[in-house]
């Protein structure tokens, strides 16, 4: 339950928020926008003012009514054709003060100075519950950080981010959200002409490990202190007044990242590009590029066409998350302690706990997937043996757990053999060693194992149709993904993995 409380934290962010909530009456004017700009209170090195570049023919392709209402926006007014101008960057919503954020990042292990090259922050929407959410336009034109890029985005990748981020939210996994996709009426060259689009991304914040790495690289202690205080105020207000704020922050981020990556591992999600500019201090999943869900269980699964050595492979994600948070620790060294050796010791001590934290989250999640309420020492082996069976038989990860969720597992799992029969016997025995009934256990399993995930072939079909102007396939997919734990709605088509094609599924970076 404690874990769930944390995962639900997004909804409760208002309570935790270190900033003063605004009165609800402030929401009445102009589409419900209530934008503030706390990030711009950081030293000037962290951001640059920049305005979105207008596009030729903005059109609203997708609008997230439910999210809009949660944000306190006037969903009906904003879903109209005229608000395409806002979501394409042609017109600023009231109170917007657009800026691009400065940050660095380790890309495939190599330190690079980056910054928002194609994303522009309009401000922070204060929601009716007092939560503070970044409203960002992704693909809204060049910024001083664009390097050789065009500052633009293609429709396919923006729709893909919309689909997967909303699917993750429905799974209860902390994530940035997608409010809208607007098409621009202009081509982008990738390298052939593709329809251009702008995604409106909603995030607890866009503070990243790379934001800290950038400040550390500039070597300015004041900037680092300001960033630590700001991040604590925004995401970890319970740490305000901690004797060592930088250490408290590092420990809190480690814990959230351990929880987050365990959630990915429990649903078969491959982020695909876990560079440190894509690791959010809030603990949300961020930057959906070449991400995808696994079908057959295989820790070596890689979808991204550029991840040639499997650095960001499915099974590598806990290790790489530890690596990424180690980069945060490095960036914080000068503010962890004035004595360099002591600082390193403090960092290493905190980082040393990651593995245990991750395992605890993973095991708690696995117990839920197996319908177990109590804890036994053999539970890790029980879970791992099932995974080993899946790996050797190339069983579908999602459907295997879904089959375990309806009480008819033996006939629901394809490729069942004696090894699986043995395992099922052990599991059945284990289920008797808890107080809860089979009905209660089934309920827990169904709430822990999605029946429907964003299958790659369905995502591709939805994107292909949408690029031709037909959004019906995508709308159906979004509807299916909105209630992933609904095991009663047995639409077999929504559950099927892709037919074997002999070719590995490949995704391409969102640029
Ligand atoms: P990403 O792969 O989306 O995490 O982006 C990595 C870096 O490249 C970030 O600094 C982005 O802002 C930048 N970037 C990605 N695509 C573009 C683009 N089309 N134009 C300019 N900058 C970009
Ligand atoms: Mg990024």
Q: Which of 206, 238, 258 is the C-terminal boundary of a domain? A: 206
Domain count, the chain: 2
Kindly give the number of the ligand 1 atom that is closest to the alpha carbon of 148. 21
Kindly give the number of the ligand 1 atom that is closest to the alpha carbon of 143. 21
The answer on 253 and 108 residing in a single domain is no
CA 176: distance to chain centroid?
6
Mean pLDDT over residues 23-41, rounded? 76
Q: What separation in Å is there between the alpha carbon of 80 and the centre of ligand 2?
A: 30
Q: What was the pLDDT predicted at 26?
A: 41
Mutation test residue for ligand 1: of 111, 117, 165, the one with most atoms within 8 Å of CB:
117
Q: How far is CA 420 from CA 305, 382, 383, in A?
A: 34, 12, 12
Whose CA is closest to 180, among 67, 52, 50?
Answer: 67
Residue 440 inside a domain? The answer is no
User: Which helix or strand (DSSP H or E) is residue 245 part of?
Assistant: helix 245-267
User: Which helix or strand (DSSP H or E) is residue 106 part of?
Assistant: strand 104-107
**Burial of 109 per CB tally in 10 Å (0-12, 13-18, 19+):** exposed
Whose CA is closest to 397, among 285, 305, 269, 263?
Answer: 269
Q: What is the pTM of this model?
A: 0.93
Q: What separation in Å is there between the alpha carbon of 87 and the centre of ligand 2?
A: 20
Q: Which of 361, 396, 418 is the C-terminal boundary of a domain? A: 361
Residue 241 inside a domain? The answer is yes
Residue 427 inside a domain? The answer is no
Q: What was the pLDDT predicted at 51?
A: 98
Domain span at residue 75 reads 3-206
Torsion of CA 364, 365, 368, 370, to 10 degrees: -100
3-class state of residue 248 by DSSP:
helix
Q: What separation in Å is there between the alpha carbon of 100 and the centre of ligand 1?
A: 12
Q: What separation in Å is there between the alpha carbon of 193 and the centre of ligand 1?
A: 18
- Residue of minimum CA distance from atom 6 in ligand 1: 114
For the chain, the 3-state helix, strand and coil shares in percent, each to the nearest 5, are 45, 15, 40
Count other C-beta atoms under 10 Å from residue 298's C-beta: 16
Q: Which of 189, 206, 223 is the C-terminal boundary of a domain? A: 206
The answer on 269 and 129 residing in a single domain is no
Q: Which ligand is nearest to the CA of 113?
A: 1
- Residue of minimum CA distance from atom 7 in ligand 1: 114
**pLDDT range class, residue 190, cuts 50, 70, 90:** very high
Residue 439 inside a domain? The answer is no
The answer on 155 and 241 residing in a single domain is no
Q: Do residues 223 and 229 lie in contact, with contact meaning Cβ atoms separated by under 8 Å?
A: no
Q: What was the pLDDT predicted at 243?
A: 98
Long-range contacts of 188-191 (CB under 8 A, 24+ apart): 188/150, 188/152, 188/153, 188/154, 189/150, 190/154, 190/511
The answer on 197 and 273 residing in a single domain is no
The answer on 57 and 16 residing in a single domain is yes
Pairing of β 119-126 and β 35-36:
antiparallel
Q: Which residues of 244-272 are buried (b: 16+ CB within 10 A; e: fewer)?
A: ebbbbbbbbbbbbbbbbbbbbbbbbbbbb
Residue 452 inside a domain? The answer is no
Whether 391 shows a pLDDT value over 90: the answer reads yes
Q: What separation in Å is there between the alpha carbon of 275 and the centre of ligand 1?
A: 12
Mean pLDDT over residues 23-35, rounded? 65
Whose CA is closest to 196, among 212, 207, 185, 210?
Answer: 185
Mean pLDDT over residues 112-129, rounded? 97
Percent of the chain at pLDDT > 90 equals 86
Residue 476 inside a domain? The answer is no
**pLDDT range class, residue 23, cuts 50, 70, 90:** very low
Whose CA is closest to 71, among 120, 107, 124, 18?
Answer: 124
The answer on 288 and 148 residing in a single domain is no
pLDDT digits (tens, 9 = 90+) for 200-231: 999 999 999 999 999 999 999 999 999 999 99
Kindly give the number of the ligand 1 atom that is closest to the alpha carbon of 152. 19
Residue 477 inside a domain? The answer is no
Pocket of ligand 1 from Cβ distances under 6 Å: 114-119, 145-146, 149-152, 277-278, 287, 289, 509-511
The angle at the Cα of 137, spanning 82 to 252, to the nearest 5 degrees, equals: 140
Percent of the chain at pLDDT > 70 equals 92
Q: Which residues are catalytic?
A: 277
Quote the DSSP letter at residue 502: S
Residue 413 inside a domain? The answer is no
The answer on 83 and 225 residing in a single domain is no
Mean pLDDT over residues 140-159, rounded? 97
The answer on 202 and 155 residing in a single domain is yes
The answer on 134 and 32 residing in a single domain is yes
The answer on 215 and 198 residing in a single domain is no
The answer on 221 and 135 residing in a single domain is no
Mean pLDDT over residues 309-330, rounded? 98
Q: What separation in Å is there between the alpha carbon of 278 and the centre of ligand 2?
A: 5
Whether 161 shows a pLDDT value over 60: the answer reads yes
How many Å apart are CA 374 and CA 126, to the nearest integer?
40
What is the residue-averaged pLDDT of the chain?
A: 92
Whose CA is closest to 380, among 361, 398, 400?
Answer: 361
Mutation test residue for ligand 1: of 149, 164, 198, the one with most atoms within 8 Å of CB:
149
Pairing of β 269-270 and β 59-63:
unpaired
Kindly give the number of the ligand 1 atom that is closest to the alpha carbon of 509. 2
How many Å apart are CA 26 and CA 128, to the nearest integer?
9
- Residue of minimum CA distance from atom 11 in ligand 1: 117
Q: What are the φ and ψ backbone dihedral angles of 185, each rounded to 5 degrees?
A: 75, 10
Mean pLDDT over residues 93-113, rounded? 97
Mutation test residue for ligand 1: of 50, 118, 120, 161, the one with most atoms within 8 Å of CB:
118
Q: What was the pLDDT predicted at 408?
A: 67
Q: What are the φ and ψ backbone dihedral angles of 100, each rounded to 5 degrees?
A: -110, 140
pLDDT digits (tens, 9 = 90+) for 339-348: 999 999 999 9
Q: What separation in Å is there between the alpha carbon of 399 and the centre of ligand 1?
A: 35
How many Å apart are CA 383 and CA 338, to the nearest integer?
45
The answer on 336 and 277 residing in a single domain is yes
Kindly give the number of the ligand 1 atom that is closest to the alpha carbon of 119. 12
Mutation test residue for ligand 1: of 53, 141, 146, the one with most atoms within 8 Å of CB:
146
Which of 26-30, 272-276, 383-387, 462-466 bottoms out in mean pLDDT, i.e. has the lowest?
26-30
Whether 16 shows a pLDDT value over 60: the answer reads no
């Amino acid at each position: 339950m404690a874990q769930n409380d944390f995962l639900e934290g997004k909804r409760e962010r208002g309570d935790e928020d270190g900033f003063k909530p605004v009165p609800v009456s402030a929401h009445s004017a102009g589409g419900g926008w209530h934008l503030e700009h706390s990030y711009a209170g950081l030293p000037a090195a962290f951001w640059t003012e920049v305005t979105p570049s207008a596009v030729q023919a903005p059109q609203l392709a997708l609008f997230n009514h439910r999210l809009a209402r949660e944000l306190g926006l006037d969903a009906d007014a904003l879903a109209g054709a005229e608000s395409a101008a806002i979501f394409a960057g042609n017109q600023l919503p009231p109170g917007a003060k657009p800026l691009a954020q400065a940050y660095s990042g380790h890309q495939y292990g190599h330190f690079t100075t980056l910054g928002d090259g194609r994303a522009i922050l309009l401000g922070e929407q204060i929601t009716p519950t007092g939560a503070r959410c970044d409203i960002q336009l992704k693909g809204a034109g060049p910024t001083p950080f664009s390097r050789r890029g065009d500052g633009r985005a293609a429709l396919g990748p923006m729709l893909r981010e919309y689909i997967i981020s909303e699917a993750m939210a429905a799974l209860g996994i902390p994530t940035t959200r997608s409010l809208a996709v607007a098409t621009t009426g202009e081509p982008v060259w990738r390298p052939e002409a593709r329809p251009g689009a702008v995604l409106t991304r909603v995030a607890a914040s866009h503070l990243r490990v790379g934001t800290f790495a950038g400040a550390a690289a500039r070597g300015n202690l004041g900037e680092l202190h300001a960033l630590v205080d700001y991040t604590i105020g925004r995401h970890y207000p319970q740490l305000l007044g901690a004797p060592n704020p930088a250490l408290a922050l590092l420990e809190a981020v480690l814990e959230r990242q351990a929880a987050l990556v365990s959630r990915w591992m429990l649903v078969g999600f491959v982020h695909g590009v876990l560079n440190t500019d894509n690791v959010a201090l809030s603990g949300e999943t961020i930057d959906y590029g070449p991400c995808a869900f696994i079908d057959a269980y295989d820790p070596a699964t890689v979808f991204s066409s550029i991840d040639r050595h499997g650095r960001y492979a499915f099974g590598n994600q806990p290790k790489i998350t530890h690596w990424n948070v180690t980069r945060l620790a490095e960036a914080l060294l000068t503010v962890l302690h004035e004595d360099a050796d002591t600082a390193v010791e403090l960092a290493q001590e905190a980082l040393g706990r990651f593995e245990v934290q991750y395992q605890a989250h993973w095991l708690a999640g696995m117990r839920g997937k197996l319908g177990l309420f109590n804890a036994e020492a053999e539970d890790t082996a029980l879970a791992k043996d099932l995974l080993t069976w899946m790996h050797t038989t190339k069983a579908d990860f999602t459907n295997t757990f879904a089959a375990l969720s309806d009480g008819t597992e033996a006939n629901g799992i394809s490729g069942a053999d004696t090894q699986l029969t043995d395992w099922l016997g052990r599991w059945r025995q284990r289920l008797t060693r808890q107080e809860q009934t089979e009905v209660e256990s089934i309920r827990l399993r169904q709430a822990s194992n999605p029946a429907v995930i964003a299958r790659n072939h369905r995502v591709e079909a939805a994107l292909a149709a949408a690029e031709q102007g037909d959004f019906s396939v995508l709308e159906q997919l979004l509807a299916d993904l909105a209630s992933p734990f609904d095991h009663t709605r047995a639409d077999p088509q929504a559950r099927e993995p892709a037919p074997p094609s002999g070719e590995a599924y490949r995704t391409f970076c969102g640029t």
